[in-house]
Structure 1
Amino acid sequence: MTNLVLPESLAAARTRLAEALKAAGRPADATRLLAVSKTKPATLIREAWHLGQREFGENYVQEALDKQADLADLELIVWHFIGPLQSNKTRDVAEHFAWVHSVDREKIARRLNDQRPEALGPLNICLQVNISDEPSKSGVSLEALPALAEAVQALPRLRLRGLMAIPAAAEGLDAQRAPFARLRESLEELRTRFPEAALDTLSMGMTADLEAAVLEGATLVRLGTAIFGERNARE
C-alpha cells in the first residue's frame, strides 16, 4: 500500500463508499469521506484537493499547523482534528480547526470553548466514545456520555454535532457492526435528551470496517491507508 497512485486510490475509495451506501439503501450523499492525512506531506494533500477532496483529518497538532501554513492558499479546505488532545494543545486546535472529533472530557471542552476565536464561529465537536471499553483507548464511557454532552451543549463557542468511536478490531461484518450500532443508538438517545442540539454526525468507520459503519449510519468515514497508503514514520 505504500506506492499508491493518489488519483486511483482516491477514486477507488469514493467508489467503495458509494457502493457501501447503495448496499445499505442510503442516499449517495449520506456519508462524507474524511481523508486522514496524518504523517503525509502537504504536497499529497494539495494533490487530493485538486482531485476534489476538501475534508482532511490530522492527529498531531504541530504537524497539522505546518501543513495548514503550506496550504493556506487552498479555498474551502476543512480541517478536522481527530487525535488525542492534550490541554496544552487546545488553543492551537481551537484557532486552526473547524472540527474536533476527540473530545472526551469536560476540561478539554471548556478550554476549546474559551480559546475559540469568536470571529471563527462555533467549533464543531464530536464526543469520542470508548465504545469497546478498551483500557488503552481514549474516550468517554457510555455511562458518562450524557453528562459530557450536556456540558458541551452549554458552551456557546462549541457546536455539539455527534459522536466518534474507534472500536476494537473485529473479524466479520456482524462483529464489526455491533459497536457501531451501539454508537448509533447512543446518538439517538442524545437526540431525545437534547432536541435543540445539532446532533447529525456519526464519525465512524475506517479502511478496515467502512462497510459496517455505513450500514449502521456513519455520516463521516475516516480513510487514511486506503487513500494515502501506509502511514509514514514520524520524525
Structure 2
Amino acid sequence: MTPSDIAQHRNQVLARIQAAIEHAGRPAGSVALIAVSKKQPAEAIRAAHAAGQRAFGESYLQEALDKQALLVDLSDIEWHFIGRIQSNKTRQIAAHFDWVHGLADLGHARRLSEQRPASRPPLNVCLQVNLSGETSKGGVAPDAVGALLEPCRELPGLRVRGLMTLPAPSEDETEQRRPFRALRELRDRLATPDCPLEVLSMGMSDDMEAAILEGATQVRIGTAVFGVRSTD
C-alpha cells in the first residue's frame, strides 16, 4: 500500500470515528485512534505518521523493537503494546512503550513497575477483561478485575488508566454492543475519584462504531488503516 493510500484510509477511519461520535452525542475528540501496525513494515508507520498519526499499536515485542530502531527519528510516536505479556519480556516492554493494553496479571504488573526506567513517566496501563470466558483470549474475569485493580493502583511505575477488552467477533451491531456495554458498566462500578478509569480501549476495524456508541475512548484499528497485514 502506498503512503497516499495509507493517508486516505486513515482519513476514512477518522471520518467513521467522527460519525459514530456524533451519532452517540459525544464530544468531538473524545475517541483516539490507535493504528495497529503489527506485521506492517516500518515504512507504513512512517507513512501514517506523515499523515498525522501518532499512536501505534504493536503485539510482537522483537518486531516492535526493530521498527522502533528504524523510526527513532520520529520522537513523538506513542507506542502501545497490545499483545500478551510474557514475564521474560517485561523489562523491554517497560523501557520501550508508553502504554500497555493487556495487563491481566499482578506479577507482570509488579515487574513492569519495577523495571520502568526512572527517567520515564509511569507506564500507562489498561487492565484486560475477558468478558466471554474464551480460554483463547487473555484477560481476567469481570468479577476479578477489582482484585487486580487495587494493588496495581499502588505500584509507582504504573498508572492505571482504564479497561480493555477483545470480544468475540459478530456482524450484528446489537451483539457487538453487548460486551462493550458490559465493559463500560464494569468501569462505572469500579471507578473512583482518584482512579477514574477514564480509558475504555475497545473496538477494531469491524466494530468500532458499536464500541464508540458504548463509550470507547480508544479504538485499535489495523486493517482499515493499513490493509490486510502480512502473514509471514
Which interval holds the TM-score relative to the shorter structure?
over 0.9
For residue 208 of structure 2, what is the aligned residue in structure 1?
A: 210
CA-CA distance at 1:44 after TM superposition: 0.7
CA-CA distance at 1:151 after TM superposition: 1.4
For residue 32 of structure 1, what is the aligned residue in structure 2?
A: 32
Q: Does the aligned pair in 2 maintain the 1:160–1:198 contact within 8 Å? A: no
What is the CA–CA distance in structure 2 between the aligned matches of 1:50 and 1:43, rounded to whole Å? Answer: 10
SS in 1 for 2:34: strand
Matched, 1:45 2:69: no
For residue 56 of structure 1, what is the aligned residue in structure 2?
A: 56
SS in 1 for 2:156: coil
For residue 107 of structure 1, what is the aligned residue in structure 2?
A: 107
Q: What amino acid sits opposite 1:59 in the alignment?
A: S
For residue 125 of structure 1, what is the aligned residue in structure 2?
A: 125
Which one of the candidate residues 225, 229, 232 is aligned to 2:230?
232
What is the CA–CA distance in structure 2 between the aligned matches of 1:54 and 1:19, rounded to whole Å? Answer: 21
For residue 14 of structure 2, what is the aligned residue in structure 1?
A: 14
Matched, 1:75 2:66: no
What is the CA–CA distance in structure 2 between the aligned matches of 1:26 and 1:187, rounded to whole Å? Answer: 18
1:138-153 equivalences in 2 (<5 Å): 138-153=138-153
Q: How many residues align?
A: 231
Moved over 4 A (4+): none
CA-CA distance at 1:37 after TM superposition: 0.1
For residue 137 of structure 1, what is the aligned residue in structure 2?
A: 137
Matched, 1:181 2:181: yes
CA-CA distance at 1:198 after TM superposition: 4.5
Percent identity, please. 52
CA-CA distance at 1:197 after TM superposition: 1.5
For residues 89-111 of structure 1, what are the alpha-carbon distances to aligned partners after superposition, in whole Å with 9 as ceiling and x for unaligned? 10000000000000001011011
What is the CA–CA distance in structure 2 between the aligned matches of 1:209 and 1:171, rounded to whole Å? Answer: 8
CA-CA distance at 1:171 after TM superposition: 2.7
Unaligned runs of 5+ residues in structure 1 are: none
For residues 213-235 of structure 1, what are the alpha-carbon distances to aligned partners after superposition, in whole Å with 9 as ceiling and x for unaligned? 0000000000000000111123x
CA RMSD of aligned residues (A): 1.2
Unaligned runs of 5+ residues in structure 2 are: none
Q: Does the aligned pair in 2 maintain the 1:6–1:228 contact within 8 Å? A: yes
Q: Does the aligned pair in 2 maintain the 1:159–1:198 contact within 8 Å? A: no
SS in 2 for 1:35: strand
TM-score, normalised by the number of residues in structure 1: 0.95
For residues 57-78 of structure 1, what are the alpha-carbon distances to aligned partners after superposition, in whole Å with 9 as ceiling and x for unaligned? 0000000001111111113110
Q: Does the aligned pair in 2 maintain the 1:162–1:187 contact within 8 Å? A: yes
CA-CA distance at 1:195 after TM superposition: 2.7
SS in 2 for 1:74: coil
Q: Does the aligned pair in 2 maintain the 1:153–1:160 contact within 8 Å? A: yes
What is the CA–CA distance in structure 2 between the aligned matches of 1:37 and 1:120, rounded to whole Å? Answer: 23
Q: What amino acid sits opposite 1:222 in the alignment?
A: R
